[in-house]
Copies of this chain bind each other. A is one copy, B any other.
Amino acid sequence: MAPKITTALDVMGGDEGAAVALPGAELALARHSDLHFRLYGDEAVVKPLLEFYPRLKAASVFEHCEVAIRMDDKPSQALRRGRGRSSMWQAIEAVKTGAADYAVSAGNTGALMAMATFCLKTAGEVERPAIAGLWPTLKGESVVLDLGATIGATAELLFEFAVMGAAMSRALTGKPRPRVGLLNIGVEEVKGLEQIRDAGRRLREADLGNLDYVGFVEGDDIGKGTVDVVVTEGFTGNIALKTAEGTAKQIAGYLRDGMRRTLLARLGYLLARDAFSRLKTKMDPSRVNGGVFLGLNGIVIKSHGRTDAAGFAAEVGERGTDQPNLLAIELRDRADHLGKAEGERPGSHLVVDAPSGL
């Protein structure tokens, strides 16, 4: 039914590069046989490795790129060194030209943001992009943004993030009016940073038809699933994400130690192991790894810097079926609501083009 989806993959991105990206893509193919890949990387590295993944080899085209962006390249360095020639740039450009539906990279966030913004340009009046992730909660999953693309967002930008996050939530969950909260250090209206209070006022006044702004939420509301969309700027969002991952690992550590301590506890563990394995899946950071770049003229997926093959597969696979299409439609759609809210002609600004080929 769904048209074939092409993923442009920066094979050199991330701490592990091709050693993780290729098996990840192979795994994604095993789950979703209708995927197609464009692989960008150093042929000396990628070509020999690709022989071990015949399924991926058959479902992909490979393009050699001279430059691989390093994890410690500054964004400006990365742009200078890698513009046009790097695997990261080429993957993004494939989205621009329509050769791919979306790009995936585990490369360094700053460089990826700089390149994606430079190549695809921000959409309409959006000033800076955001990275949105799916966060497992007690009620299911919530969209959380920004996870590290834009440090220190203004009120205008937080407003934009709320609108874009709601669009992603609608695309992924089908809820017509997702509940949106602004992350703050208290739920009272007098608390927190001025730009957050200001964004809250704007969201309340705009009273958008396709999102339900419920006010401020705190750090512990994320895991509770109090809202469908949690909005914050990139520094805080990234700290929150990694702190949650760290806490999950910490508790797993306590649990493991506790279970090893006595024979009875070990027996208990054996009897309850189904429950544990379900828990492990829910807590697994590789399942929440990465996120979707929102606010650009095309979809770029940032994969976690320390991802593993399963994490990569989750990225590519989960969002690799028809979700990019839905997402693009939703992002285009939101312009109507925004236009109405601001008393302008629907769709007159903030139009996010669907990636060509959709």
A interface residues (Cβ-Cβ under 8 A, vs B): 71-72, 74, 109-110, 136-138, 148, 151-152, 183, 185-186, 188, 190-193, 218-224, 232, 234-236, 238-251, 253-255, 258-259, 261-262, 264-265, 267-276, 278-279, 282-283
Contacts and interface: CB of A to CB of B under 8 A. Distances in A.
Contact of A272 (B71, B192, B219, B259): B259
Contact of A241 (B190, B219, B250, B276): B219
Given A188-B71, A235-B236, A242 B254 contact: no
A235 B282 contact: no
Contacts of A239: 183, 185, 218-219, 232, 236, 239-240
Nearest to A148: B185
- Ordered nearest first, which 10 A-B pairs have the shortest CB separation? A219-B242, A268-B272, A258-B275, A220-B246, A268-B271, A219-B243, A223-B250, A223-B246, A247-B247, A268-B268
B244 A247 contact: yes
A245 to B, nearest CB: 5
A234 B185 CA distance: 9
Contact of A249 (B188, B224, B259): B224
Nearest to A226: B246
Given A223-B243, A239-B185, A268-B268, A193 B258 contact: no
A279 to B, nearest CB: 5
Contacts of A238: 185, 219
Contacts of A185: 148, 151, 234-235, 238-239, 242
Given A221-B246, A249-B220, A271 B265 contact: yes
A248 B224 CA distance: 10
Contacts of A236: 235-236, 239
A196 B278 CA distance: 39
A193 B238 CA distance: 13
A243 B246 CA distance: 11
Contacts of A137: 250
A271 B283 CA distance: 23
Nearest to A190: B74
A183 B243 CA distance: 11
Contact of A268 (B240, B249, B253, B270): B270
Nearest to A275: B258
Contacts of A192: 151, 235
A220 B242 contact: yes
A255 B238 CA distance: 26
A242 B265 contact: no
A188 B72 CA distance: 7
Contacts of A74: 190
B245 A248 contact: no
Given A258-B275, A265-B275, A248 B249 contact: no
A240 B219 contact: yes
A277 to B, nearest CB: 9
A218 B185 CA distance: 20
A78 to B, nearest CB: 11
